[in-house]
């Protein structure tokens, strides 16, 4: 994952049920860098955990529990900024 657009794709995969992905269906709202994930109900608590899990698996890093807060998940851009900072700290 090298960009906020890659993160948007990851979020789309994480919030789209497997059966819908197989049928070629995406979420009803396209996920763009400025999509309001929480305000639009795209992410709920389970979806946030799914996204965190995918980020950890994809980037081989640990997402601190203390950072699983609304501010970091408001938009993919917010999340990308946090993930980029986290990657820098780990390197």
pLDDT of amino acid 28:
63
pLDDT of amino acid 27:
53
pLDDT of amino acid 90:
79
pLDDT of amino acid 19:
42
Q: Which residues contact 73 (CB under 8 A, 6 or more apart)?
A: 37, 38, 43, 48, 51, 79
Are residues 54 and 89 in contact, defined by beta-carbon separation less than 8 angstroms? no
Average pLDDT over residues 60-71: 94
pLDDT, tens digit, 9 for 90 and up, residues 11-38: 998 888 654 444 454 556 789 999 999 9
């Amino acid at each position: 994952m090298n960009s906020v657009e890659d993160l948007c794709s990851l979020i789309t995969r994480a919030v789209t049920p497997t059966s819908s992905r197989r049928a070629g269906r995406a979420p009803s709202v396209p996920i763009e860098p400025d999509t309001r994930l929480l305000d639009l109900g795209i992410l709920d608590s389970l979806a946030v955990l799914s996204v965190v899990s995918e980020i950890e698996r994809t980037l081989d890093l640990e997402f601190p529990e203390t950072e699983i807060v609304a501010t970091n998940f408001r938009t993919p851009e917010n999340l990308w900024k946090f993930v980029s900072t986290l990657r820098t700290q780990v390197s």
